[in-house]
């Protein structure tokens, strides 16, 4: 965080209060808004999206490292999605005990059996990191996870730089305001969707965005390409969706070129059996899925843990040792909980020093990870059961705490001790064997109070931020 800024304004309560109002007004002006919790399905009432008052300092070298490795992560996810033997082996223990992953995997097996209907692959992902503080005071980039489905906040993070620039100018910090980076992941993500639409082969096909509450900028970008965008829930598609004899997908009578899943990553997204039927129908279709079922599975926590094993990355990059080195440098310690001596060792290690680790289930969306004494409670209950294989264990990352003000609607203005998480967006499009697009398209910085172990912006814990490179 811009610690130097805060040191000068901390004692000036009146200035901080004024800047907070400036930030809120500028957020509304720039479109950094979201629907309210009281009326989540209404566009009549909105409020500013939660954000920090000041940008957060991030070491330039570490930031550039995160950007540089992203295209390799794009390639890695794509290659994993094409390797059925690897996915079957990696997820074998997980699908025995985790029903949600098992249901996704059954759809995957069905598609493998029937054969893929579409050779075009669209990947829009976000790789999330924290900066682990070393003993010598320097920071090391360590990956938290990679999101291969519903990688959100590309729209809002494209708008927040102007908010912090304005706040810094009002505070008299003109030099720092010039160091806020331009950032437009919405345009890059939209470019990936447009490229997939273009390859699908029709100017009049429609793009379905499943309940995209945060992707308005993507939708707007698509409009400029004369691509119609519609939003539907699984239940809606169940009523009005169908496949023709050529497996073309129609919804509301409109042919769909690209399906972007804004949800579908949590069990509660599948409210009925019909929801699962819809997911299978769309996977069977010729429409380009983002993600398709194999790419969805490539983003699971278990796959993340297996990739950290010696020799596994080399399998996917046999002639690219530099790519292997760049990716592996971002790995935190990851440990299996499979049945057997190795998993037993992991259990003993976690029970002996739970504060060193994070216990991670196969879930996305924030708020699912387990920390501290709760790790002992969970593992004591499942340590002798195959149920433990529903989790992986990861080293806990220790970023340096900083101070900032977290602006939220109806929340008191107070200084907080904060931790930040850096996300990097990637977009790729492949047609058959030809990778036609593979790019790093932007970044996202989220900051939360250090009193919260887990949870993102949507969960009401983290807020939007911007990096100030140092």
The pLDDT confidence band at residue 217, using thresholds 50, 70 and 90, is very low
The pLDDT confidence band at residue 448, using thresholds 50, 70 and 90, is very high
Distance CA 458, CA 102 (A): 26
pLDDT at 136 over 90: no
Q: Is 210 annotated as contributing to ligand binding?
A: yes
Integer CA distances (angstroms), 243 to 44, 220, 277, 278, in order: 35, 28, 12, 11
Mean pLDDT of 118-137: 93
| Predicted pLDDT at 227 | 85
pLDDT at 434 over 70: yes
Domains identified in the chain and CATH numbers: 1-332+397-469 (no CATH), 333-396 (3.30.1490.50)
Distance CA 55, CA 111 (A): 46
| Predicted pLDDT at 53 | 97
In the DSSP assignment, the letter for residue 363 is: -
More confident position, 455 or 323: 323
pLDDT at 225 over 90: no
The pLDDT confidence band at residue 8, using thresholds 50, 70 and 90, is confident
Q: Which two tokens stand for residue 186?
A: 């919405």
Q: Is 414 annotated as contributing to ligand binding?
A: no
More confident position, 36 or 12: 36
pLDDT at 457 over 80: no
pLDDT at 459 over 60: no
User: Which residues neighbour 128 within 8 Å (Cβ) at sequence distance 6 or greater?
Assistant: 143, 144, 145, 146, 147, 421, 422, 423
**DSSP letter string, 301-328:** HHHHHHHTSTTHHHHH-TT-HHHHHHHH
| Predicted pLDDT at 220 | 39
Q: Is 360 annotated as contributing to ligand binding?
A: yes
Where is 110: in which H helix or E strand? helix 99-114
Q: Is 274 annotated as contributing to ligand binding?
A: no
Q: Is 361 annotated as contributing to ligand binding?
A: yes
Mean pLDDT of 307-327: 97
Residue in this structure with the two tokens 């690219």, named with its chain if needed: 320
Active site residues: 126, 145, 147, 152, 301, 360, 364-365, 446
| Predicted pLDDT at 456 | 59
Q: Enter the pTM of the model.
A: 0.93
Radius of gyration of the chain (CA): 22
């Amino acid at each position: 965080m811009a610690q130097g800024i805060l040191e000068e304004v901390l004692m000036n309560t009146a200035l901080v209060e004024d800047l907070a109002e400036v930030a809120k007004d500028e957020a509304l002006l720039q479109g950094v808004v979201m629907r309210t919790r009281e009326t989540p399905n209404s566009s009549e009432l909105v409020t500013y999206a939660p954000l920090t008052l000041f940008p957060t300092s991030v070491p330039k070298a570490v930031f550039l490292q995160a950007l540089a490795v992203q295209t390799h992560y794009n390639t890695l996810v794509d290659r994993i999605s094409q390797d059925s033997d690897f996915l079957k082996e990696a997820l074998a223990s997980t699908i025995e005990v985790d029903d949600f992953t098992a249901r996704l995997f059954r759809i995957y097996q069905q598609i493998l059996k029937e054969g893929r209907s579409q050779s075009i692959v669209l990947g829009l992902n976000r790789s999330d990191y924290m900066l682990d503080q070393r003993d010598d005071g320097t920071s090391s980039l360590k990956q938290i996870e990679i999101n291969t489905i519903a990688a959100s906040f590309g729209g809002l993070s494209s708008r927040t730089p102007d908010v912090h620039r304005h706040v810094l100018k009002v505070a008299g910090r003109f030099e720092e305001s010039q160091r806020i980076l331009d950032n437009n992941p919405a345009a890059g993500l939209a470019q990936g969707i447009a490229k997939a639409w273009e390859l699908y082969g029709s100017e009049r096909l429609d793009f379905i965005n499943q309940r995209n509450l945060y992707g308005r900028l993507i939708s707007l970008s698509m409009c400029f390409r004369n691509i119609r965008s519609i939003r539907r829930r699984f239940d809606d598609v169940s009523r009005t969706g169908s496949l023709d004899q050529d497996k073309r997908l129609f919804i509301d009578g409109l042919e769909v070129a690209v399906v972007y899943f804004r949800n579908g990553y949590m069990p509660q997204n599948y409210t009925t059996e019909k929801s699962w039927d819809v997911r299978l129908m769309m996977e069977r279709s010729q429409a380009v899925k983002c993600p398709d079922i194999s790419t969805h599975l490539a983003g699971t926590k278990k796959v993340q843990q297996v990739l950290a094993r010696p020799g596994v990355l080399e399998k996917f990059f046999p002639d690219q040792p530099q790519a292997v080195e760049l990716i592996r440098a971002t790995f935190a310690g990851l440990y299996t909980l499979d049945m057997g001596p190795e998993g037993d060792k992991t259990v003993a290690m976690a029970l002996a020093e739970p504060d060193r680790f994070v216990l991670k289930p196969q879930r996305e969306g924030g708020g699912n990870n387990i920390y501290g004494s709760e790790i002992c409670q969970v593992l004591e209950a499942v340590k002798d059961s195959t149920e433990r294989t529903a989790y992986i264990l990861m080293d806990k990352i220790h970023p340096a705490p900083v101070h900032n003000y977290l602006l939220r609607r109806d929340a008191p203005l107070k200084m907080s001790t904060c931790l930040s998480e850096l996300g990097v967006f990637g977009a790729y499009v492949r047609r058959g064997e030809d990778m036609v697009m593979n790019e790093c398209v932007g970044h996202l910085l989220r900051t939360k109070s250090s009193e919260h172990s887990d949870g993102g912006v949507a969960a009401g814990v983290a807020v939007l931020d911007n990096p100030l490179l140092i």
